[in-house]
Structure 1
Amino acid sequence: MYGAVLRSPRHQLRRVTCCQSWTSRRGFSVLGIETSADDTCAAIVTSDRKILSNVVQSQHSYHEEYRGIHPYMAIEAHQRHLPGVVRQALKEANMSIQDLDGIAFTRGPGIAGCLSVGSNAAKTLAGALNKPLIGVHHMQAHALTVFLTSPPEEAPQFPFLSLLLSGGHSLLLVAVSPTNFRILATTADQSIGTAFDHVAKMLEIPWMAAGPGASLEQFAKTEVGDVDSDDLPYDNIFVTPMPGKLAFSFSAPESQAARLVEKRGVRNMSLKSRVLLARAFQTRVVLQLEQKLAIAIKHCREEQIPIRHLVVSGGVASNAFLRERLRVCLDSASTDDRISLVCPPPKFCTDNAAMIAWASMDRFLSGDTDEYSVEHKSRWSLDEFSASTRSKELQPHAWQP
C-alpha cells in the first residue's frame, strides 16, 4: 500500500529528492479541489507560481430561493459538478491526470457534507494514481493567496496582520509564518458575510450572480438623489459593539437593522429608504472593522511585533468600499511607518481551488504529506492548526520565490 510506504523515512527522502528534480525541470504541479461551501472548484498550480487553470462552478442558482446556502442542495451540486470541474481544469491546463505531481483538497473548516465530497474525490484520485495527498486548512489558504497572486516584490513580509472575512469566518490575526497564526480577534456570534447576507434578504435586495453580500454592496451604491435629515434616521440606530476590545459582533448591527425593518415593514419602505439603510449598515459594519484594526495595530506596537503589511482575503474582501476604508484606516493608524494593504484580485478572494493548491506547496516540497485515510474536519480552528504544525514548521520554499 502506498500509504504504508509513505511512512518510511527512506521513502520520504527519496520522494523529496524526486520532487525537487521535478521542480527544477518544470515546477511541481498540484491539482487543488475546494468544496467547503457553495462553490465547486478545481485548479492546477505549479511551484513556480503559475496558475495553469482555475475553474469555479457557482451554485448561486441553486440557493437563490433560500436566500442563503442550503446544505443539502450544496452537497448534491458538488456531487453533480465536481467530475466535470476537475476535467475542465485538466483541459485548460493542457494536462492529463497522470501529469499531476500531487493532489490537495480542502480538509476544513466548512460544511461537513460538502467537505466530504471533495475529500473523497481527492483521496480516490490520489490512491488510484499513486500520487501524494495533502489536506489544506481553508483559512490558511485564504491568508496565503497573496503570495500566489502578487508580484514577489509586493508580497507581504512575515509577520503581517491579516483580516479573513467570509460567509463563515471573521478573523483578525498575526501571520507569524505560513503555518503559524496568532488570532487577535474573532466574532462573538456570526460572521460578517452572514450578516451581509441576512440584511440583503430582509431588505429584499435583488439577487446578483455573486451572491447576496455582493448584492447589498451594489444596492448601497444606487443613486437616490439628495439626502436630508428626514431621509436618514439610520446612523443613530447603529452602535459599535464591545468598544475598545479586540472582538467582533456582527449580530448586533444586523439586529439593529432588523428591528427597524420590522417596525416599518419592508414593503412600506421606499426604494430610497432601503438603499439608505443598506448603505448605513455597510458603513457601520466596516467602521467596526476599522476600529478593531486600529486596536490591533496599537497592540502589535506594544508587543514589538513589526507589522508592515495588512492582508485582507475571503469573499467579503471583494467589497470595494471595505478596501477603500481600510486604506484610510491604515493611513491614520500608521503615519510613521506605513502599513501596506495587500489583497488578492476579487476572483481569488472568494473560494477557489488555486489557493488550496498553493497552500499545499511547501508541504509537498518538504515531503510532509498526508495518508489516504486523512479525515475532513468541519470544525478546525486556526489555533488548533497552528499548534499541530508548530513543532514541525516548514521552511517557506514557496512563499519567497
Structure 2
Amino acid sequence: MVSKTIYILAIESSCDDTSAAVLCNDEVLSNVVATQKIHEEFGGVVPELASRAHQKNIVPVVHRALTIANIDKKQLSAIAFTRGPGLMGSLLVGTSFAKSLSLGLNIPLIEVNHMQAHILAHFIRDDKTESPKFPFLAMTISGGHTQIVLVHDYFNMEILGETLDDAVGEAFDKSAKLLGLPYPGGPLIDKNAQFGNPMALPFPKPKVDGLNFSFSGLKTSILYFIQKETKKNPDFIQENLKDICASIQYTIIEILMAKLRKAAKQTGVTQIAIGGGVSANSGIRKALKEGENKYGWTTFIPKFEYCTDNAAMIGIVGYFKYIQGRFAEYDVAVKARYQI
C-alpha cells in the first residue's frame, strides 16, 4: 500500500492522437485526447502532418488535463511519456515536451513503452472493473501491432506470438478502403458487420506456425475477391456491404481466437486480457466473453476510453515505475521500434 499521494502527468503522442492525463496514484483524474482529423482525406496517417499537429495540440491538451484534474503543475510528482514504439516525429514532440517540463519543475522523468501501457491499462483503479491476476495472457491488437503476451508481472512480459506482416488494425482499415469506406474504416466494418451474415462469404485463413499471425494474405484475397465480383456487377459492394463486412470481421476474429485458444492451452493460463485500439471492436469483445463459457476463461476487457491511444494508460505505467524508482535520464532517446 502506498501512503504517499503521487500525482503523475502523462503524455501520449505515439501516432495521431495527442493525449495528456493526470493520475492520483492509480486513479485517473483526467484523460484528454485531441484527435487529428487532417488524416481522413489521405486515407491514413501522414507522419509529417501528425508531428505538426502534435506541436499545435500538446500545450492546450496538457493545460486542459491539469484544469480538469484541478491540479497545479507544482503538485506533480513526475512526468511520464511515451518513448515508443510509434512514429518518430510524433514521439519526439511528446518526449521533448516531457523533458522540458520535468526539467523546469525539477521532478522525475519516466519513459513508458506504449505496448506495455495497453496491457497495464487494466490496472487503472475503477470500482466497476476488476484487474487480472498474474500470470495472465494479453492480446494486444492495434493498427500497428498484433501480439500475444504472457504477463508474469508488471514489467516481466514475454511475447509468445506476433504478426509477421500486417497488424490486425491495418487489415481492418485496408479492407475498409477496398470497400470505399472512409478512414478510419475499421470501426465502420464493425458497424456494418452487426447487420450482415458472417458466413455469407468464406475468406481463407492463413496457416502460420506457432502463435504468430499473418494478415497480408487475407488482405490480398479480399482485394482479388472484390475485383472479381465488381467486374461482374459494379454494384456488388453496395448491394452486399453488410455481408462483406460481417464475413471479413468473422474471419479476422476466428484467426485471433484460434491463436488465443492455442496460447491458453500451451501455457495453462486462463486469465485473458485484451488491449489496443482494435479491442474496441464489438465482435472481438463478444468472442472473448463467449470464451468464458466455452473454455473456462476469465476475461478482462478495458473501457473504450482506455482501448485507443490515451495518456491514462501511460500514467498507470508511470505510477508503477515511480513506486519502484525507475526514472529516466534526460538523454533518453525515442524508439520507433520498441519491444516490450
| TM category, shorter | over 0.9
In 1, distance between residues paired with 2:241 and 2:161? 31
Pick which of 368-377 and 240-249 moved more: 240-249
CA distance in 1, matches of 2:274, 2:153: 16
One-letter amino acid of the counterpart of residue 354, structure 1? A
2-side partners of 1:131 and 1:82: how far apart?
Answer: 19
CA shift digits 1:222-263 (9 cap, x unpaired): 46xxx7x9xx4x21xx22212563111111211111111122
How many matched pairs? 337
Larger radius of gyration: 1
Q: Which amino acid aligns with 1:293?
A: L
Q: Does 1:220 align with 2:193?
A: yes
Query: For residue 326 of structure 1, what is the aligned residue in structure 2?
Result: 288
Deviations, residues 40-81 of structure 1 (Å, cap 9, x unaligned): 00000121x22111000011x211111111111111110110
Report the equivalent of 2:240: 273
Query: What TM-score comes out, normalization by structure 2 length?
Result: 0.94
Instruction: Output one character per residue of 1:350-392: Cα deviation in whole Å (capped at 9) or x when no partner.
Output: 110011011111221222211111111111112xxxxxxxxxx
1:313 match: 275
Aligned mate of 1:296, from 263, 266, 279: 263
1:58 corresponds to 2:35: yes
Give 1:339's aligned residue. 297
Structure 1 residue 278, shift from structure 2 partner: 1.4
1:196 paired with 2:162, answer: no
Retained in 2: the 8 A contact 1:40–1:85? yes
Call closer, same or farther: CA 1:260–1:126 in 2, change over 3 Å.
same
The alpha-carbon deviation at position 271 of structure 1 amounts to 2.2
Structure 2 counterpart of 1:268, one-letter code = D
**Partner in structure 2 of residue 104 of structure 1:** 80
Structure 2 equivalent of residue 24 of structure 1: 3
- Residue 330 (structure 1) shift: 4.4
What is the RMSD of the two structures over their aligned residues, measured on CA atoms? Answer: 1.9
Q: Equivalents in 2 of 1:72, 1:263: separation in Å?
A: 36
Which residue identity lines up with residue 319 of structure 1 in the other structure?
Answer: N
Q: Does 1:40 align with 2:18?
A: yes
Q: Distance in 2 between matches of 1:344 and 1:68?
A: 25
TM-score by length of 1: 0.80
Does structure 2 conserve the Cα–Cα contact (< 8 Å) formed by 1:33 and 1:43?
yes
CA distance in 2, matches of 1:153, 1:68: 33
2:128 & 2:266 partners in 1: Cα distance?
Answer: 28
- Name the aligned partner's letter for residue 3 of structure 2: S
Which range moves more in the overlay, 65-74 or 29-38? 65-74
Give unpaired runs (5+ residues) of structure 2: none
Aligned to 1:389: none
Which residue matches 1:121?
A: 97
- For the residues of structure 1 that align with 2:328 and 2:23, how far apart are their CA atoms? 19
Task: Return the offset for 1:84.
Answer: 0.4
Selected match of 1:378 from 300, 321, 336 = 336
CA distance in 2, matches of 1:145, 1:114: 21
Residues 314 and 351, structure 1, Cα contact 8 Å, conserved in 2: yes
Partner residue in 2 for 1:3: none
Equivalent in the alignment of 1:166: 142
Q: Quick check: 1:205–1:219 contact (8 Å CA) kept in 2?
A: no
Name the residue aligned to 1:148. 124
1:291 maps to amino acid: A
Does structure 1 residue 250 correspond to structure 2 residue 215? yes
Q: Distance in 2 between matches of 1:285 and 1:270?
A: 19
CA distance in 2, matches of 1:120, 1:62: 23
For residue 312 of structure 2, what is the aligned residue in structure 1? 354
The secondary structure found in structure 2 opposite 1:107 is strand
Distance in structure 2 (CA, Å) of the matches to 1:46 and 1:191: 34
Provide the secondary structure at the position in 1 that maps to 2:152: strand
- Residue 347 of structure 1 aligns with an amino acid whose one-letter code is E
Whether contact under 8 Å (2:179, 2:237) holds in the other structure is: no
Q: Which residue of 2 aligns with 1:388?
A: none
